[in-house]
Chain A
Amino acid sequence: KAGVTQTPRYLIKTRGQQVTLSCSPISGHRSVSWYQQTPGQGLQFLFEYFSETQRNKGNFPGRFSGRQFSNSRSEMNVSTLELGDSALYLCASSIRQGGETQYFGPGTRLLVL
């Protein structure tokens, strides 16, 4: 099976802009989770989608949002970008929702200038 794919892999934006990241899970996986990784804060949980519904959300402002489509593909959007949003954004898929084994994509590295 193909692994989790994320697009784009690298992105440079300026403050105030918005960005949309995409994630395609492993075939048959219905849960998609998003994480933000920074040197200062480590790996932080953003949200989880299962069957097109947000099941869980981390402690991030409303500028961070996401959605999941009927084919389980997911997108996350960050509006009004801030310098502190520069990070590696990781997507992970799993068969079931919740804290089970997750399979990670390679990540999207976002740089906000």
Chain B
Amino acid sequence: SQQGEEDPQALSIQEGENATMNCSYKTSINNLQWYRQNSGRGLVHLILIRSNEREKHSGRLRVTLDTSKKSSSLLITASRAADTASYFCATDAGNTDKLIFGTGTRLQVFP
């Protein structure tokens, strides 16, 4: 079963707009990660946020983590057509040492 679920499942925006994706998970975690996958290819690591952190930035990416609500959000600012991809959150599901992925959000950015 999936540890995390992303919301929305799909998102379409224009270039220059911001894109926000949400991830909810079920069990306690040590960290939460976000990955990007271009169509049918391998995943690319974007950012890792630890359970004792609330917010993290990397370039145009901003990630927040609310452990009390077991949720995280990924904000991509000033989106570009090249940001078109699927975005997945992944958690280590507590002490299982497994990386469990969410269901993903498909982002389409129109030029």
Interface residues of A (CB under 8 A from B): 4, 33, 35, 42-43, 45, 48, 55-56, 58, 88, 90, 92, 97-107, 109
Interface residues of B (CB under 8 A from A): 2, 30-31, 33, 35, 40-45, 48, 88, 90-93, 96-104
Question: Are B48 and A45 neighbours in the complex by a CB distance under 8 Å?
Answer: no
Say yes or no: B104 contacts A42, CB within 8 Å.
Answer: yes
Q: Is A48 a contact partner of B42 (Cβ separation < 8 A)? A: no
B103 touches A48 (CB 8 A): no
Beyond known contacts A33-B99, A90-B42: 6 more, CB 8 A cutoff: A88-B40, A98-B92, A99-B93, A100-B48, A101-B33, A105-B42
Across the two chains, which residue of chain A brings its CB closest to B29?
A99
Contacts of A4 in B (CB 8 A): 42
Question: Could you pull out 26 A-B pairs where Cβ atoms are within 8 angstroms?
Answer: A33-B99, A42-B101, A42-B102, A43-B88, A45-B98, A45-B101, A48-B98, A56-B97, A58-B98, A88-B40, A90-B42, A98-B92, A98-B97, A99-B31, A99-B90, A100-B48, A101-B45, A101-B48, A102-B43, A102-B45, A104-B35, A104-B42, A104-B43, A104-B44, A106-B42, A107-B40
Give complex CA distance A64, B98 in Å: 17
Please tell me which one of the listed residues A90, A92, A97, A104 contacts residue B97 in the complex, with CB atoms under 8 A apart.
A97
